[in-house]
Structure 1
Amino acid sequence: MTQATHLSAQQSKTPGTNRRMWGLDSPKMDIDAAHLVVGAEGTVRIPLPAYLIEHEQGLVLFDTSMNPLVCDDPGLVYEEGRPERDMIIGDPEQRIDRQLATLGYRPEDITHVILSHTHSDHAGGLYLFPQAKFFAGPGELQWQAGHGPSTSHLFNPTDFSDEVKAFDWNSVQAPSQDLFGDGSIIMHHTPGHTPGELSALVRLPSRNIILTGDTVHLREAVEWGEVDPSDWDYDEERASIAKLKQLRDSEDASLWIAHDPRDWEDFGGPLQEIA
């Protein structure tokens, strides 16, 4: 092999990168931290976000936040008696369609949607993107369709209408799947919170970031290796937390915990461009 050929082979193994990424602004929810991590204390105001990733092959959303109507009035989505009516704090400008517009995009510009899992604070905006290609973790959609009464409060039945179910859904292969085949976005199966929970390694020119979905909810979950009381499987969850740590270290990446306001401060806040 000549030196030039050797260098070409080496370069071909270098992972690709995305152009840039934003964490979108979102409604917030006031919640007891003990509901997010066993042993945590106090009330925390958590974001309920989505992320936009710009790649040369398309625009990718990681999660879709809650149904955008909650930003206008939670009562438009949640019936009388549901605690979300009082727990959610939103503003009409935090609707995901308006957040995209702020960046110069329309919902129809989205080409791919990665759904970390099917709970309503992540799946509420799915219906806005019928043209996209959708990715969910192994068994996640089947589990959502058959979940039991003990977790019914985590779902909004209207998120998975017949129209949404008919979208172009694709099941991610465990343990990981490369979205574009260039290493720029790698979806990792990190079950525990739900059977098909996904995280995503996002490579950017300046840094690598792991979007954790609900694999963990607050930093304490990573530090303590502790579960969320509502997790589907505690043993799977602890194994996935260990996987996140290993992935973070091996890829020289930073974790972005979607629901932890401290992480949003560290990454510069909503709509901060990261390139």
Structure 2
Amino acid sequence: MTHWEVHAVKYADRNARTRADSFLFDDNHDAPHAMDYYIWVLRRGPEVIVVDTGYDKAEATTRNRPIRMEPAEALAPFGIKPEDVTTVIVTHLHYDHAGGLHLFPNAKLHMQAAEMAYATGPCMCHDTLRMPFTSDHVCEAVKRLYSGQVVFHDGDAQVADGVTVHCIGGHSRGLQCVRVLTDAGWLVLASDAAHYYENFMAQKPFPIVVDLQNMLDGFATLKRLASSPELIVPGHDPLVRQLFPVGIAPHITRLDQGPMKEIPH
């Protein structure tokens, strides 16, 4: 089986954060703690799979969360036009992961059935649980469902040879990670099952959580799925760009050859 290239594409960052925004029960809660925002690209010959879509400048303005580049601009170095992408894996429907769904009009969306049920169900009556979602993004996913462009998964599933998804939940009810066969072994894109290395390495939960047990159990699932802990790639950690080599543009990081350095403990 030919292995996949995997690329992390940074499109935004947020530095005005503290450790209280990243970890429950952290003793050093007021220390600065930056966050990066990524889209991921899987390539194997002519095949392309995009994992998550980021969000656009309209959403950035609405939430006062500026982005450095639009998703289409971020993907341009690959020669990828969003309208040509036919497969998008949606790890979950939070605004920063599904805010660009409308930019990929011809893609089939692979998501967990539990995520659609969560984002359109009674849990959204609660302001706190609804906060990371944007109704237009959820409605876009529903429109795609009615046009036959959604593939639902229930737990573990294969999207392509060497690419599988695994429902973890915790941060969002139907959050899924993506497992990819690479030259370095089985690499796991944790997405928000682990925002940072410290989440899964030190068993420290992220504060936005719908099911704390699922989040904690998910840290063990990530370790089970990856060939080694070094091949678990957190969803928002700036350390990813320090540990893995620069890719084909300064905002792109190449993941499939493994990290250049050990993860700091």
TM-score class, shorter: 0.7 to 0.9
Kindly indicate whether residue 21 of structure 2 is the aligned counterpart of residue 35 of structure 1: yes
| 1:173 positional shift | 2.6
Q: Which has the larger radius of gyration?
A: 1
Amino acid at match of 2:38: P
What's the Cα RMSD here?
Answer: 2.1
| 1:57 positional shift | 6.4
Q: Secondary structure at the match of 2:109?
A: strand
Amino acid at match of 2:118: W
Instruction: Quote the residue 2:182 is aligned against.
Output: 204
Structure 1 residues 117, 233: closer, same or farther in 2, change over 3 A? same
Matches within 5 A, 1:9-28: 16-18=2-4, 20-28=5-13
Kindly indicate whether residue 94 of structure 2 is the aligned counterpart of residue 124 of structure 1: no
Instruction: Quote the residue 2:153 is aligned against.
Output: 172
Q: Secondary structure at the match of 2:34?
A: strand
Q: Secondary structure at the match of 1:54?
A: strand
| 1:274 positional shift | 4.7
Amino acid at match of 2:40: Y
Q: Kindly provide the CA deviation profile for residues 179-220 of structure 1, in whole angstroms up to 9, marking residues without a partner as x.
A: 11x2x1111111111111110111123443210010011122
Measure the CA separation in 1 of the matches of 2:229 and 2:94.
29
Kindly indicate whether residue 136 of structure 2 is the aligned counterpart of residue 158 of structure 1: yes
Measure the CA separation in 2 of the matches of 1:203 and 1:218.
22
- Of 30, 43, 52 in structure 2, the residue corresponding to residue 54 of structure 1 is 43
Kindly indicate whether residue 144 of structure 2 is the aligned counterpart of residue 144 of structure 1: no
- Of 245, 252, 255 in structure 2, the residue corresponding to residue 271 of structure 1 is 252
Q: Kindly provide the CA deviation profile for residues 18-51 of structure 1, in whole angstroms up to 9, marking residues without a partner as x.
A: 2x22211211123222222213432222112110
Measure the CA separation in 2 of the matches of 1:274 and 1:224.
22
Confirm or deny: 8 A CA contact 1:59 1:109 kept in the other structure. Answer: no
- Of 74, 78, 84 in structure 2, the residue corresponding to residue 109 of structure 1 is 84
Confirm or deny: 8 A CA contact 1:225 1:242 kept in the other structure. Answer: no
Amino acid at match of 1:142: A
Instruction: Quote the residue 2:232 is aligned against.
Output: 255
Structure 1 residues 268, 69: closer, same or farther in 2, change over 3 A? farther
What TM-score do you get using the length of structure 1 for normalisation?
0.80
Structure 1 residues 125, 22: closer, same or farther in 2, change over 3 A? same
Measure the CA separation in 2 of the matches of 1:134 and 1:68.
22
Amino acid at match of 1:256: V
Confirm or deny: 8 A CA contact 1:208 1:253 kept in the other structure. Answer: no
Identical positions, percent:
20
Confirm or deny: 8 A CA contact 1:116 1:197 kept in the other structure. Answer: yes
Instruction: Quote the residue 2:71 is aligned against.
Output: 96
| 1:126 positional shift | 0.7
Count residues in correspondence: 241
Gap runs ≥5 in structure 2? 257-265
| 1:253 positional shift | 6.1
What TM-score do you get using the length of structure 2 for normalisation?
0.83
